[in-house]
């Protein structure tokens, strides 16, 4: 059964056999979130999930912790875990911070990145080349985050990395994937463009061309702002206003 056909009924533990239960439950929940099976703000009931999957509550609790770490869910003391529900203002804040932090990190990383890190980035990029179907979207999202995080890590600035992790977990990439899941006609075009943009960034990094790497990164994030507007309804004027306030001018 394809994951996006899962109806949430009955016990669905047969597929939980390949990795640790914690990781399998996380991937199962991650796929369901990207597929829109859980609505923003919806509570994830530990006991209910354990019963559905036919596992104990321990791996479910650990998987929920992973969802929180990945920025898809939030833990509320004494209440439990619920899917993140972001306001337009929160999304715009994360968008602007990505422009600020990733631009700076890429500039530094391009000059000092190790060859093995470049090789790892090319490996991640190659893994995403043909991930353009509904069933690929959870994997695509995780590889996308790994790509950007490795570039930031290559800057060798621990504080930038820590701040970026916070920003990345606040950016609603999973909501963009969820929208494309519901509109599969957009899927191949959007993910193919994402692959091309990542390749342009990486090619510039590999060539040690910092200026081009920064420009390509900024343009990539600005293209995401178009999806924030058209897919999620974030007002374009809010996005542009914050760019002006932070002095983020168009880079060519």
Where do the structural domains in the chain lie, given as residue ranges? 3-83, 88-245
Q: Do 27 and 66 contact (CB within 8 A), yes or no?
A: no
Least confident piece of the model among 15-19, 44-48, 56-60, 154-158: 15-19
Query: How many Cα atoms occupy the beta-carbon half-sphere of 240 within 13 Å?
Result: 6
Say what the pLDDT of residue 18 is.
Answer: 54
Checking if the pLDDT of 10 tops 60, the result is no
Across all residues in the chain, what is the average pLDDT?
88
Stretch 192-214: mean pLDDT, rounded?
97
Q: Kindly give, in sequence order, each residue whose CB lies less than 8 Å from that of residue 67, ignoring residues fewer than 6 positions away.
A: 26, 29, 30, 33, 44, 73, 81
The structure tokens listed for 172 are: 């609603």
**Is this model's pTM higher than 0.85 or not?**
no
Residue whose C-alpha is closest to residue 170's, from 72, 30, 37 = 72
Q: What are phi and psi of 157, to 5 degrees?
A: -110, 105
| Architecture field, domain 3-83 | Orthogonal Bundle (1.10)
The structure tokens listed for 188 are: 């191949």
**Would strands 73-76 and 43-44 be described as parallel, antiparallel, or unpaired?**
unpaired
Express each pLDDT in 101-110 by its tens digit: 999 999 999 9
Record: fold of 88-245: 1.20.120
């Amino acid at each position: 059964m394809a994951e996006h056909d899962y109806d949430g009924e009955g016990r669905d533990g047969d597929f939980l056999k390949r990795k640790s239960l914690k990781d399998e439950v996380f991937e199962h929940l991650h796929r369901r979130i990207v597929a829109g099976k859980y609505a923003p703000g919806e509570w994830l009931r530990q006991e209910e999930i354990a019963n559905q999957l036919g596992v104990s509550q321990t791996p479910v609790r650990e998987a929920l912790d992973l969802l929180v770490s990945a920025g898809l869910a939030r833990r509320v003391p004494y209440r439990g875990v619920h899917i993140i529900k972001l306001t337009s203002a929160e999304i715009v804040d994360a968008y602007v911070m990505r422009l600020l932090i990733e631009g700076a990190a890429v500039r530094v990383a391009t000059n000092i990145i190790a060859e093995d890190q470049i090789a790892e980035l090319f490996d991640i990029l190659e893994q995403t080349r043909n991930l353009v179907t509904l069933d690929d979207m959870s994997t695509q999202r995780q590889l996308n985050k790994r790509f950007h995080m490795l570039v930031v890590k290559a800057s060798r600035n621990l504080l930038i990395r820590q701040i970026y992790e916070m920003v990345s977990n606040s950016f609603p990439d999973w909501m963009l994937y969820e929208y494309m899941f519901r509109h599969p006609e957009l899927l191949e075009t959007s993910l193919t463009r994402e692959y091309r943009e990542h390749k342009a960034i990486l090619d510039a990094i590999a060539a040690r061309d910092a200026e081009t790497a920064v420009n390509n990164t900024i343009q990539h994030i600005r293209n995401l702002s178009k999806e924030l507007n058209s897919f999620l309804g974030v007002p374009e004027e809010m996005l542009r206003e914050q760019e002006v306030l932070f002095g983020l001018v168009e880079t060519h």
